[in-house]
């Protein structure tokens, strides 16, 4: 039975290490999530600013076209003013010229403000582009590091599991079935120390504790169902580092 218990412990060591590595593997991609979220936010902000810039440029072109037509109308009004023959015509033409001149001045003022705003917006977009590119570079570098670590973890798993099938093949099928049912929930094989199952922290019956000492059968904890063994039977304590010295003779 001792050989079977040792094989079960060896299998558990392999499986728990694989589980640990798998947990680390699953956690790695999340490391890049903050960078990815920041990048998405910046890209959304940049898209919004670019759309505003596009809309403003369209408005600018439309206003420039209107301004050109108004300038044509102003020239026509001036020409009309020069051709007036009566005072009434002169005053009417003058008011028309002044009205169109004011309209042109107002539109030019608005266009000037928009042109200045477009320049500032273009500079901001340039800065955003640079910040986004920097963040993309950081994200690419982080993902490259994660990919390298994932590959390293995969190699470790391959090394650790190399002899797993061979170990499983040596274990009695009944206990292997019990082990497989337990290992998915945590630890399948637990030591008993001072009569207490270390899987559930409950004291086992003295009769069962005695059975474990004889190593004649494999036992399961009545409380948690784990395969149990007495720790000192399979893992004897290390010898003292230094032997005790004899007392010195009294004078």
> What domains are defined for the chain?
2-23+164-234 (1.10.287.1490), 24-160 (1.10.287.1490)
Would you state the pLDDT for residue 238?
A: 55
- Between the CA atoms of 226, 232, 234 and 239, what dihedral angle is there, to the nearest 10 degrees? 150
- pTM attached to this predicted model: 0.64
Closest by Cα among 221, 222, 228 to 8: 228
Would you state the pLDDT for residue 246?
A: 36
Task: Provide the CA 249 distance to its chain's centre, in angstroms.
Answer: 70
Would you state the pLDDT for residue 145?
A: 94
Take residue 223 and report the two structure tokens written for it: 């409380």
Would you state the pLDDT for residue 241?
A: 40
Q: Residue 66: CB partners within 8 Å, gap ≥ 6?
A: 107
Burial class (CB in 10 A: 0-12, 13-18, 19+), 102: exposed
Take residue 221 and report the two structure tokens written for it: 């904890």
pLDDT band of residue 178 (cuts 50, 70, 90) is: very high
Tell me how crowded residue 7 is: count the other CB atoms within 10 A of its CB: 20
Cite the beta strand spans of the chain per DSSP E. 189-193, 196-197, 219-220, 227-230
pLDDT band of residue 240 (cuts 50, 70, 90) is: very low
Closest by Cα among 200, 173, 204, 170 to 185: 200
pLDDT above 50 (res 142): yes
Would you state the pLDDT for residue 171?
A: 96
> What's the mean pLDDT in 34-56?
89
> What's the mean pLDDT in 30-49?
90
């Amino acid at each position: 039975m001792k050989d079977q218990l040792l094989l079960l412990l060896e299998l558990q060591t392999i499986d728990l290490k694989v589980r640990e590595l798998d947990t680390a593997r699953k956690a790695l991609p999340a490391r890049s999530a903050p960078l990815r979220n920041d990048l998405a936010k910046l890209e959304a902000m940049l898209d919004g600013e670019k759309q505003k810039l596009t809309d403003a440029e369209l408005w600018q072109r439309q206003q420039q076209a209107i301004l050109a037509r108004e300038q044509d109308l102003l020239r026509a009004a001036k020409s009309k003013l020069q051709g007036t023959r009566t005072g009434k015509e002169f005053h009417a033409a003058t008011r028309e010229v002044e009205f169109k001149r004011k309209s042109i001045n107002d539109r030019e003022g608005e266009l000037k403000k928009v042109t200045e705003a477009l320049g500032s917006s273009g500079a901001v977009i340039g800065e955003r582009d640079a910040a986004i590119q920097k963040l993309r570079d950081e994200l690419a570098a982080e993902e490259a590091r994660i990919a390298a670590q994932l590959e390293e973890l995969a190699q470790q798993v391959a090394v650790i599991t190399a002899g797993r099938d061979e170990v499983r093949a040596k274990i009695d099928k009944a206990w292997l079935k019990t082990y497989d049912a337990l290992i998915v929930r945590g630890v399948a094989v637990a030591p008993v120390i001072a009569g207490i199952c270390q899987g559930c922290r409950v004291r086992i019956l003295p009769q069962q504790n005695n059975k474990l000492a004889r190593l004649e059968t494999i036992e399961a904890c009545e409380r948690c169902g784990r395969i149990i063994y007495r720790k000192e039977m399979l893992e004897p304590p290390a010898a003292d580092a230094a032997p005790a010295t004899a007392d010195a003779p009294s004078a």
